[in-house]
Each structure stands twice: as structure tokens, then as C-alpha cells.
Amino acid sequence: MTTLGAIASPHALATQSGQRVLHDGGTAVDAAIATCAVLTVVYPHMNSIGGDIQALLALPDGRTRALGGSGAAAAALSAQALRGHHASMPIHGVHPITVPGVIAAWGELHAQGGRLPWARLLEDAIALAQGGVPVAAALGRDLDALQERLRLDAGLFGVFFRPDGRVLRTGEILKQPALAASLALIAKDGPDAFYKGEVGANFVNGVRAQGSLLTRADLASHRSLWLEPLSTSFGPYEILTTPPVSQGFVLMQLLAAMRQMDLESADPSEKAATTLARLCAITADLRDRHLGDPEHARVDIDYLLSDRVIGDLVRRASDLSLPIPATPPLPRPSGDTVAIVAQDALGHSVTVIQSIFHAFGAGMLESSTGIVCQNRGAAFTLHEGPAVLTGGSRPPSSLTATLLRRNGAIEAALGCMGGKSQPQILAQVLMRLLAGTAPADALAAPRWVVGTFGQGNENVVLAESALGDAGRQALSQVGLPLVFGAERDDRAGHVQFVRRFPDGHFESATDPRGDGDQTLR
């Protein structure tokens, strides 16, 4: 509990950096940027300055805006060009690398609500990249699990493996001097250092040498987009989220259907789990059939959030005799994302979701810049539809930033990692908060997710092993195989939460599935 402001993230060192910024007179926006920057250093399996952002920003004057910080595919790339070589959109390698949007999004956020100098916000990230940081538990798990694939890329091997060829383990020191140099140039020259300057030129040259079609012109033409948030009522709150290319409308569909079914404050780990999990599966199918870049395809939000569609969701979720939509086996994003939430006494609230899509993104690190390349382009398809790969278009984004407004004022900021499951995770946490559960307990409670978590990447319900008998019984009736993960499973997401009280105090909570609890360091 604080009076100056509050920030939460999945890594304690990143959160501490944001707290120092608040104490130095910075806004919640400044604190979020500093935290985001540190996370690119300490959680490189989940995010990078080579990744993307979706964010929500509430300003002291009452305005609330959504920031679309996704980058586009190379202008020269097309589905037709890849069809002759690939049956489906590649997951790794150069072709799913899209224009990074992170640095431009930081710049846009800073211009709207920053107070401290830009360079000050990158100081901690530069120092940690240069001096080294202990490998966090979540990073260590992914390094161990994915080491054979990581060995295939010279850039990743040079950073995440010891000279004797062994992968770094949890607690060992990770140093990233090339990334430190890139961050230092960005601190000095601002976002232009990447989109029009030396850092971006080196990055493009490095990925083009491996076959990418990205050009310096692709970087120079990148723009973040300020958009109107989507919103719906849920209990006493108005829930705000990000519009396409974000999948935020899926969260809106879930909440609207749950409102009709009187599930707003039900327990998601008991009887209600049957209907809710069916809703999650059906809305995920709708997302995959409708989401694309609104600048290149028609995404009819009015239709997707219409009474007709919501009523159909309720009918299909309630009737257990109706089958769940068939989903072809698809590679599952792992690692993928970080969430940062912050508020201050001035009236700023911000949720930033920052990502490289799969763990270690495209499976490539550009050596001269130290930048891990995202593979957000893997969300494209090579077949006709709103998400078909088109040069210059932005891929569908799983990033779902959230703010909670009550009686006209922003009360809380909420965000999570979890790939396509983010709306499902957020809905479960919101249900618990509405039932009066303390935020820390709401974040720690057992969760489940619907997605391609089966042994052969088929669609299943994945439940944490801590789930009780009532939840297990309810989920067994969904119509999908039920499988169990760890007691606290990374695949169930890392959730972050901050809340402002009317008396001026702030509360924060971080998910125990991550590394954000400073008492555990």
C-alpha cells in the first residue's frame, strides 16, 4: 500500500526500477516505460525491444486511449510468395519477423504522460544489460526446455550459453553487452535511433543477411496508432480494453455473455467453469475467423459485439449437447508476453502488454544489436481470410490490456501474459475480484485455460493441478479433453494488478507464477 503510486510487473528488478522512477518524481507512464525497458533485459524469453505492444492509458483529464503498438510485415512479403515453400505460416525463422513496435510505443506513451527525461528511463535497463543479471526462474525454465532449438541460432547461443556450451541456469549471470549498446543509443537519440538510425540499420542488415525481406523503409514507415478503447459493463465496473488488431473484443464477448448468464461473481473453479470454458472455446473460434488488421481487412466489431452474437454465444455455451468448434492442431505460443500496470497520484493509469509472441520469438537474436526477434507474424495465415499475410499489414495480436472504471473514474489496471488465453485469464480474475476476493488471492487462485495445450497441440482444457474436485468435475463436462499442468503453471498466465482507493492509497499485486514478488528474491 502506497500513496505515491503503484506498479506491478512479473520481475522484481523491473518493478523496483519503476518504483524508483515514481520516487524521483516520474509519472506512472515514466515508471511503466522504465519497467518495460528492464523487462527486455531480465525476461528476454518473453519480450524484447524487437517486439510489440498493446496498451491502455488513462490521463488526469479523464481521457482514456488505446495504443496499438504492433508492427507490420515487410512490404515485400506476401502469402503468395511463401505458399510455394510452406504449407502454413512459418513459426520460426526470418519470415514471421515483423517490424518491432516497442520503442515507438514507449515514445508515444512518454509524449502523452511522461515527465522525466527519456534517457533517465532507460538507465537501469542499460546497467543490467551491461553488468549482468541473475537468470530468473521463469527464464531458466524456458532455457532448459528449449535449449536444443536455441542452439541452432548463433545469436541466441552466444548470449544464453556458457563458453563450454552449457545453457545458462537459474541464478547464473546473464550479460548482454550488445543490447546495452543498443539501449544506450536509443537513450541518447530516442526512438529515431531504431526507426531511422544506426540501431535499426544494423538490425535490418543482420536479419536480411539471414533471408528476411525487412528493409529500413519498413522501419521508417512504422507508426503507433492511438485508438478508442472497447468497453462493456461488468458488475459495478466498466471494463476497457484494446481494439483490433488486438483480440480485446474476445474479452468483451466473454463478459457480455457472462453478464447475461449471471456469472459475473461466480467462482470460476467450481460449477460455473463448465459454461465459462465452453464460452472460451467458442469465442476463440470466432476470433480466429474474424480478427485481422482493420486497415487491410474488414473487422466488424459492431457485429461481433451485437446482441445477436452474444445471444448465440449464451445458447451454444449453455447447451452441453452442442459440440465445441473443431480446432486444427496448432503450435502453442510459450513464454510470449509480459504485463506492466501502473498508477500515480496525479491521475495516470496505464496497462502495457509487451511481447515477442512465442518464447524467444522467431528463435533468432540479431547479434550486432543484441535484439531478440519477435515472431508475431506467425499469427498470419497463408490462406484467404482477414489474417492472410499481406505486405505492410499487421498480424492479429493476442495482447489484451485492461483498465477498470467505476463511477466515471479509473479505479484499477489489470494485465496478463498467456497468449490467446489472455481474455480467459482476465475473465477468471475479474470474477474473483467481483466476488470480493483480495487481489493477491485472486491472482494466486488456481486457473484453467482452453487452447492447443494437448500433447499433439490439439484443443484441450488445461487445468492447474491445484484445482479442487468441484472444478475438475465441472471442466470434465466441457466437451474437450481435460489435462492437468503444474500446481502453478506458466501457461495459465502471469497477472499483474494495481488499484487506486478513494482515500489516495494504492494497492498492487503480482502473480506468484512469475518472478515479481520482491520478498522472494
Summarize pLDDT for 204-242 with one digit per residue, the tens: 999 999 999 999 999 999 999 999 999 999 999 999 999
Distance CA 411, CA 423 (A): 20
Summarize pLDDT for 98-131 with one digit per residue, the tens: 999 999 999 999 999 999 999 999 999 999 999 9
pLDDT of 330 above 70? no
Domain-located, residue 404: no
Counts of helices then strands in the chain (DSSP H, E): 19, 19
Domain-located, residue 233: no
Summarize pLDDT for 355-375 with one digit per residue, the tens: 999 999 999 999 999 999 999
Together in a domain, 359 and 435: no
Domain-located, residue 424: yes
Together in a domain, 440 and 364: no
Mean pLDDT of all residues in 263-278: 96
Query: Predicted confidence band at 474 (pLDDT cuts at 50, 70, 90)?
Result: very high
Together in a domain, 299 and 444: yes
pLDDT of 520 above 50? no
Looking at 320, 353, 379, which one is the last position of a domain?
Answer: 379
Using omega within 30 degrees of 0 as the cis cutoff, is the peptide bond preceding 102 cis? no
pLDDT of 257 above 60? yes
Distance of CA 422 to the CA centre of its chain: 8
The pLDDT > 90 percentage for the chain reads 94
b or e along 244-268 (b: 16 or more beta carbons within 10 Å of the residue's beta carbon)?
bbbbbbbbbbbbbbbbebebbbbbb
> Helices in 51-196 by DSSP H: which ranges?
79-83, 102-113, 118-121, 123-131, 137-150, 154-160, 177-189, 192-195
How does DSSP assign 435-454, residue by residue? Answer: TT--HHHHHHS--EEEES-S
Q: Of 48, 71, 258, give the one whose Cα is nearest residue 139.
A: 48
Together in a domain, 145 and 271: no
The grid coordinates of residue 371 equal 535484439
Identify the pLDDT of residue 1. 56
Identify the pLDDT of residue 228. 98
Domain-located, residue 405: no
- Structural domain count of the chain: 2
Domain-located, residue 515: yes
Identify the pLDDT of residue 518. 58
β-partners of residue 482 are: 461
Identify the pLDDT of residue 86. 94
Together in a domain, 103 and 184: yes
Together in a domain, 90 and 211: yes
Triad 345, 112, 518: Cα angle to 5°: 50
Query: Predicted confidence band at 488 (pLDDT cuts at 50, 70, 90)?
Result: very high
Q: Of 330, 508, 416, 393, give the one whose Cα is nearest residue 79.
A: 393
Do 55 and 64 contact (CB within 8 A), yes or no? Answer: no
Together in a domain, 351 and 326: no
Domain-located, residue 294: yes
Distance CA 509, CA 497 (A): 5
Q: Which residue matches cell numbers 498492487?
A: 508
Mean pLDDT of all residues in 497-511: 96
Together in a domain, 340 and 486: no
Together in a domain, 344 and 366: yes
Distance CA 445, CA 5 (A): 25
Do 400 and 423 contact (CB within 8 A), yes or no? Answer: yes
- Higher pLDDT, residue 334 or 517: 517
Query: Predicted confidence band at 327 (pLDDT cuts at 50, 70, 90)?
Result: confident
Q: What is the mean pLDDT of the chain?
A: 95
Domain-located, residue 30: yes
Distance CA 429, CA 414 (A): 9
Summarize pLDDT for 152-203 with one digit per residue, the tens: 999 999 999 999 999 999 999 999 999 999 999 999 999 999 999 999 999 9
Together in a domain, 349 and 289: no
Q: Which residue matches cell numbers 512518454?
A: 110
Distance CA 412, CA 425 (A): 16
CA end-to-end span of the chain: 20
Q: Of 415, 494, 449, give the one whose Cα is nearest residue 284.
A: 449
Mean pLDDT of all residues in 72-101: 96
The parent domain of residue 466 ranges over 248-332+415-520
Together in a domain, 141 and 220: yes
Task: Give me the CATH number covering residue 270.
Answer: 3.60.20
Predicted TM-score of the model (pTM):
0.97
Identify the pLDDT of residue 519. 45
Together in a domain, 220 and 300: no
Question: Which distant-in-sequence residues (6+ apart) come within 8 Å of 308 by Cβ?
Answer: none
The pLDDT > 70 percentage for the chain reads 97
Domain-located, residue 55: yes
Specify burial of residue 127 (Cβ count, 10 A radius: 0-12, 13-18, 19+): middle
